[in-house]
């Protein structure tokens, strides 16, 4: 009994860590939605959101659903006990993840972005944005062919890219020591956040889990 309780607690740990990591970006997205709904002073920094609000609304809503649902998709106990829920939630996560990634790509290309972003960050956003779309699509196609391991690997890569905003929030603590980054520094920080997340995902995919993961035959046979 004690071992089962410990297993359940350890399986919930990644969900807790992910939601803590993404708490600030999710809160910031919620505040952005409120300002768009109730109105706010229009400045050069936020004018693009008021001029064309649909992409940013789609991005915020899609990303929030993807992050929250996606976190629970990786809990072995849920996949084992509720495979039907796992499948249904997985379909919603696929759609919301694609909405989040495609709307981000649209904003990258068509919004008048601040000068602090720069060309390198623009390139990073395109590369990782298309990488997220490709990972989700490949993961979906893999599960259609019942290739469970490949499905999980691609979904994990796509999700890792989606967590980039949360990981990037850790870097501002470094500003206390080195100061506010310039255009190049900001691009490198965002690139490092996405790269770090993908590196952790690959570490787990290749059989070196950061937390205990147990798979049952019932889970492996259930399409997700």
Rounded-to-integer distance, Cα 82 and Cα 84, Å:
5
Question: pLDDT value at position 108?
Answer: 94
pLDDT at residue 222 greater than cutoff 60: no
How large is the average pLDDT for residues 26-45? 82
Are the C-beta atoms of residues 197 and 161 closer than 8 Å to each other? yes
Residues 6+ apart with CB under 8 A from 168: 189, 190, 193
Q: Which two tokens stand for residue 161?
A: 């890219």
pLDDT band at 223 (very low <50, low <70, confident <90, very high): very low
Residues 6+ apart with CB under 8 A from 12: 75
pLDDT band at 49 (very low <50, low <70, confident <90, very high): confident
Are the C-beta atoms of residues 43 and 88 closer than 8 Å to each other? no
Convert the pLDDT of each residue in 158-187 to its tens digit.
Answer: 999 999 989 888 776 555 555 677 888 889
Convert the pLDDT of each residue in 67-102 to its tens digit.
Answer: 999 988 888 777 788 888 889 999 999 999 999 999
Window from 60-64, 103-107, 182-186 with minimum mean pLDDT: 182-186
- pTM (2 decimals)? 0.82
Q: Which two tokens stand for residue 16?
A: 């807790």
Higher pLDDT, 37 or 46: 37
Convert the pLDDT of each residue in 115-174 to its tens digit.
Answer: 788 899 999 999 999 999 999 999 999 999 999 999 999 999 999 999 998 988 877 655
pLDDT band at 3 (very low <50, low <70, confident <90, very high): very low
The domain containing residue 208 runs over which residues?
2-221
Number of domain units in the chain = 1
Residues 6+ apart with CB under 8 A from 90: 73, 143, 224
Q: What is the mean pLDDT of the chain?
A: 83
């Amino acid at each position: 009994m004690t071992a089962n309780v410990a297993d359940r607690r350890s399986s919930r740990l990644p969900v807790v860590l992910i939601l803590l990591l993404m708490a600030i970006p999710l809160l910031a997205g919620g505040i952005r939605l409120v300002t768009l709904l109730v109105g706010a002073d229009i400045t050069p920094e936020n004018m693009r959101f008021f001029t064309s609000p649909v992409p940013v609304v789609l991005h915020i809503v899609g990303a929030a659903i993807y992050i929250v649902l996606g976190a629970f998709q990786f809990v072995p106990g849920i996949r084992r006990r509720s495979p039907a829920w796992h499948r249904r939630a997985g379909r919603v996560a696929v759609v919301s993840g694609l909405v989040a990634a495609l709307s981000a790509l649209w904003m990258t290309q068509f919004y008048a972005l601040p000068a602090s972003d720069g060309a390198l960050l623009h390139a990073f956003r395109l590369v990782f944005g298309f990488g997220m779309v490709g990972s989700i699509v490949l993961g979906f196609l893999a599960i259609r062919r019942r290739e469970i391991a490949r499905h999980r690997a691609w979904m994990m890569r796509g999700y890792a890219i989606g967590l980039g905003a949360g990981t990037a929030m850790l870097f501002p603590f470094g500003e206390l020591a080195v100061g506010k980054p310039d255009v190049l520094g900001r691009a490198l920080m965002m690139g490092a956040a996405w790269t770090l997340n993908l590196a952790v995902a690959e570490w787990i995919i290749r059989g070196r889990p950061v937390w205990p993961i147990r798979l049952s035959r019932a889970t492996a046979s259930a399409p997700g």
